[in-house]
Amino acid sequence: MLNKTLTSRQCELVISLLQEVLREGATLDRAYARAFADLHLPPAENAIIALTTGDLLRRLNLYCALAGVEVDRAAATGWSLLCVWHRFHNLPMPDCAAANQIDTRTYEARKQQARALPAVWDGCPAWLDALGETQLGEEAWAAERAALARTPKRYLRVNTLRCDRDTLIQRLADEGVQTRPVDGVTSALEVLNDAALFRTAAFQDGWFEQQDAGSQHIAAFLQVSPGMRVVDACAGAGGKTLQLAAAMNGKGRLLAMDVEEWKLENLRQRARRAGAHNVEARLITSSKTVKRLKETADRLLLDVPCSGLGVLKRNPDAKWRDTEQRLPVLMALQADILRRYCQMVKPGGQLVYATCSILPCENEQQVAAFLAERPDFTLVAEQHVLPSQTGFDGFYMARLRRAAIDDGQTAPVDTAVEQTTDNSTERAESNEA
């Protein structure tokens, strides 16, 4: 956390970001991109603004409670929120009129009241708290809720097509970036300072990508090898695609698919920088795009659209923008993707179903429902990456094997596959890496 008061300019930038997210509905990433694009701030100042804005959104209802305002008025009370934020973190007050309006006795009373309400203290909206407790149970959800309120760490993935981990550590150190290996994740480095990663020559040369250490488990879980035919069917901007390319040592065919062309163009640029020459990006234009690939993939990755409740500490704006009404829509989409896209797997091949959610209804329950419909698939293994246990973002993954022809099983006819011609559903299937 910070150890000094924000300047007036920094406060104004934070307030502007809060207003764009809370009032205009922009994602935090988009708000950052627009704000920082024209300012050309030093990396340390970028980090200060991002850290403060992220923390305010992670525990928004706590800071609103301390300021005595309703959450739906947060966008209009930015200076008050910043003042109680400074007080909460034991920093001198910024130079503004709102600082003189904070009564110490009132603040301390509000703080004690908030401390007695765990969901408020952890910055969790009431609808999400109820959902999490129902899905995970009181004790498990309390641990995850607290973990999701913490500031996320920065991680890199070493691009082994260009270098090894130790060489990257040294090169980054030469460029002023301090890193250290991550226990249990051989491809990951934790970034220890506020260096501007994307301005380094190491990044420009394709030696690394920024990717959470928990996310790096998913591509590894697919168990690809050089020479395979692999499909990443919800590729987004290609973070996991590039990790798969490195695991394949650039050999074999790796098809990255998505319904958004701009994401695929981003992926193509990243692949060129990374030296991932076996990557082909293909736009999903209709159900026929998938049907043409029937029984062609040795491995299939389905990193499906989801609630994103495992990555809330990194995307805290989502919990103030989303509602519980969105979850059934996402679950229907997940089941549809799994049902239709599984046809791309060869007999004897494997797929991984993955989400960045920690909710059973999006994870193991979806897999169980699919397996009940498709006896030609079996569950090989599943893995949970929980923020409370790892400190990483939260993920779920399940590896399923399709029966080989000599196993004596035949896939049932899936009429849903044959009847799906509407592109509107597919347009919603984009998943960012």
Residues carrying an active site annotation:
356
Domain 216-427 CATH (choose: 3.30.499.10, 3.30.200.20, 2.60.40.350, 3.40.50.150)? 3.40.50.150
More confidently predicted of 412 and 150: 150
Residues whose CB is less than 8 angstroms from the CB of residue 269 and which lie 6 or more positions away in sequence, other chains included: none
Residue 421 has pLDDT above 50, yes or no: no
Determine the pLDDT at residue 417. Answer: 34
pLDDT, tens digit (0-9, with 9 covering 90-100), for 168-224: 999 999 999 999 999 999 999 999 998 889 999 999 999 999 999 999 999 999 999
Q: Find out whether 184 and 220 touch, Cβ atoms under 8 Å.
A: no
More confidently predicted of 142 and 38: 142
Residue 124: both structure tokens together: 């969790």
Question: Would you call 158 helix, strand, or coil by DSSP?
Answer: strand
Q: Closest by alpha carbon to 283, among 211, 347, 338, 235? A: 235
Residue 91: is it exposed, middle or buried by C-beta count within 10 angstroms (0-12/13-18/19+)?
A: middle
Determine the pLDDT at residue 145. Answer: 98
Measure the CA–CA gap between 256 and 281, rounded to whole angstroms.
Answer: 5
Q: Find out whether 7 and 91 touch, Cβ atoms under 8 Å.
A: no
Query: 154-210 sits in which CATH class?
Result: alpha beta
pLDDT, tens digit (0-9, with 9 covering 90-100), for 81-119: 999 999 999 999 988 888 778 889 999 999 999 999 999
Determine the pLDDT at residue 90. Answer: 93
pLDDT, tens digit (0-9, with 9 covering 90-100), for 158-171: 999 999 999 999 99
Determine the pLDDT at residue 166. Answer: 97
Q: Per-domain residue ranges for the chain?
A: 8-123, 154-210, 216-427
Determine the pLDDT at residue 1. Answer: 58
Residue 42 has pLDDT above 70, yes or no: yes
Determine the pLDDT at residue 416. Answer: 35
